Homo-oligomer: A and B are copies of this chain.
Amino acid sequence: MQKSKIPRIRLLIGDRVALGPGKASLLDIIDKTGSISAAAREMGMSYRKAWGLIDNINNDFLEPLVIKTTGGKGGGGALLSNYGKEILTRYLDMEKKANVSIASDLKWFSDRLSQ
C-alpha cells in the first residue's frame, strides 16, 4: 500500500482500532464484490488476515457486519448485513465530516511530517 502523507483518522475503542481506513476499505470491497478472497487480494493481504479482521469487526459491534454465504458457483461468498452497510456508511460520513472540520490542521501537520 502506498504511503500517503495525508493524515487520516481512526476510530478507537480504548486502545483498539474498532474501525479505520483499512477495515472500512475491506468492508467496502466485500460489499461490492461479495467475496472475502477478492477483498483480501485487492487489499494485498491473505484470506486468513482478512477473515481475522472481519471476525474482530463482527465481535466489536453488537451485530455482525459481514455474513458468510454458502453454496453457489465457486463456493461461499460474503455480504454486508444491513447493519454492516449502516455502520460503514456512517463511518465514511463521519470520517468526511471530521476531515472537513480539521482540514486546516491536517494540512498544517502534513507540512511538518518527514517523508
Contact = CB atoms under 8 A, between A and B. Distances in A.
Interface of A: 1-5, 7-22, 59-63, 87, 90-91, 93-94, 97-98, 100-102, 105-106, 108-109, 112-114
Nearest to A83: B112
A12 B110 CA distance: 10
A17 B9 CA distance: 9
**A-side interface mostly:** mixed
A5 B15 CA distance: 10
Contacts of A12: 7-10, 20-21
Given A9-B10, A10-B10, A97 B101 contact: yes
5 contacts: A4-B13, A9-B10, A10-B17, A62-B112, A87-B109
A112 B14 contact: no
